[in-house]
Structures are given as structure tokens and as C-alpha cells.
Amino acid sequence: MPLFQSAVFYTTVADLRDLPIDSRCEVAFAGRSNAGKSSAINALANHSRLAFVSKTPGRTQHLNYFRLVDGKYFVDLPGYGFAKAPEEVRGQWEGLLAPYLQQRPALRGLVLIMDSRHPLTDLDLQMLEWFAPTGKPIHILLSKADKLTWQAQCLTLREVENAMRDFGERCSVQLFSSLKRSGIQVAENVLASWLEMTTVVDKAPPTGSRTEKTARLRQRRAVGWGARQSAAKR
């Protein structure tokens, strides 16, 4: 059973005064409106409609809380598809997002979803600038990886890893596909460590078997250098 399968919608927050007071650990999900953020949350929760996949960029304008267990939450941040949003809505987003990311004590880390075909946009970099001063970890999901060839996946992964080296070990990067359900276990392991939740470890195949070699190859393909280094140190 996936670790986050018990996730349920809890509340929508439009004002920082209404943030849940019982929260001990939160993981925030951010990304452009069409980067696959809702699909990533749904895939991690093994639920097709937990986070509504809107066809209108920028439709969600508040913080959506999903309860995992008592005091622990996923937080779906507003998609930053600013181009089509009225000026007053953009101001509302920035007034809500920046203080939340920089000041929320319960926030343990940020999952930043980037479309693997168009990573490191100006808005992605702005989100990183907002969050960087906290010193908290960042995990980047390069979504829709199934849309790229294997060679293009490798090039994109390397490009983003190199761009994130200034963040050091607190930033990890991986390939992810909600459609093919690839990269879910890697992401689950990272988030479980932030949330202080225990993952179920699959039994290792016999040493030297073809299954073991295949598993190692898939792991290397799915996760980038930063995440591998982080996992090795735990």
C-alpha cells in the first residue's frame, strides 16, 4: 500500500490566519499551472481525483491542504500561471505564497514540479528565490518524463542538476511520470524522510540476479545525482 494512500482533502486556506493549528509537518507542492502538479499529488496518493486537475491554468488561487495522518499534510500551492491572471489575483498569490514559504514553521520542504520539456522557467527560478532563504530542502520532480526520449531525459536531468548545484545537498532532482507511474517510490522515500513517516522497504532480490541488476538500472534512471547522494548519506 502506498504510504500516502490515506490522504484526504482537509481544507482550503485563503488567509494565513486560517492555517491549520494542529500541523506539525507539511510538504508544499509548487509549480507552473500546467506542469503536472495536481497529477503528481494524485499519483503519490494513488488517487485519481484527490487534487483536481484543472484545465484552466491559474484556476486554483489558495492553499489546499490534504491530511495524511494526524498533524501531517501535503499542501498544494497555487499554480503560478501568472500570465492570464488579473493583477489583483497575482498580488493575492504573492501575498499568500511568499509569507507561507518563508515563514511557516511546520513546512519541512518544497516539492517543485517542472515540466521536463520546459524546466527552469523564470517563474520556477522566482519560486526558488522565494524559498532559498529558509534553508529547507527542495526536491524537484521533472514531470511528464514519458514525453521525452531516454536521451532527452538524461540531458534534462543533467541540466537541472547542474543548475541546482549552488543549493548543495538540500536540493535533489528526479525524473517523474504520473502517466507511467515512474519515479513514485523515489519521491515517496524523500517525502517520508521530511515528514518522519516510515516507508515499506521491498525485499531485495537475490544477489547477482538479473532482477537486481534491472532494479539498480531503473533506480539510476529515475533519480538524479542530488537525490542519490542524499539517500546515500541517510
In a domain, 123, yes or no: yes
Kindly state the average pLDDT of the residues 12-28. Answer: 94
Is a pLDDT exceeding 70 seen at residue 83?
no
Given this model, what pLDDT does residue 212 score? 46
Task: Kindly tell me if the per-residue pLDDT of 213 is higher than 70.
Answer: no
In a domain, 97, yes or no: yes
Residue range of the domain that includes 88:
8-233
CB distance 80 to 130 below 8 Å: no
pLDDT of residue 31: 92
Is it the case that residue 207 has pLDDT exceeding 50? no
The pLDDT value given to residue 48: 82
> Is 1 a member of any domain?
no
Count up the domains in the chain and report the number. Answer: 1
- The domain that holds 18 is classified in CATH as 3.40.50.300
pLDDT grade, residue 60 (50/70/90)?
low
Range 205-216 average pLDDT: 47
Q: What phi, psi does 104 have (nearest 5°)?
A: -75, 110
Phi, psi of 174 (to 5 degrees): -150, 160
Give the neighbor-by-neighbor strand order of the sheet with 171-175.
8-13, 63-69, 72-76, 25-31, 107-115, 138-143, 171-175
What average pLDDT does the chain have? 83
Residue 210, pLDDT above cutoff 50: no
CA–CA dist 92, 212 (Å, integer): 50
Binning pLDDT at 50, 70 and 90, where does residue 86 land? Answer: low
Q: Where residue 76 falls among pLDDT bands split at 50, 70, 90?
A: very high
Residue 183 has a pLDDT of: 97
Please indicate, yes or no, if residue 127 is contained in any of the structural domains: yes
Residue 102 lies in a domain: yes
| pLDDT(225) > 70 | no
Amino acid 82 reads F
| 2 domain residue, yes or no | no
**Does 85 fall in a domain?**
yes
Q: Which pLDDT value is given to residue 224?
A: 58
pLDDT of residue 39: 93
| Residue found by looking up cell 538500472 in the block | 217
For 125-167, how does the pLDDT look when each residue is reduced to its tens digit (9 = 90+)?
988 988 999 999 999 999 999 999 999 999 999 999 999 998 8
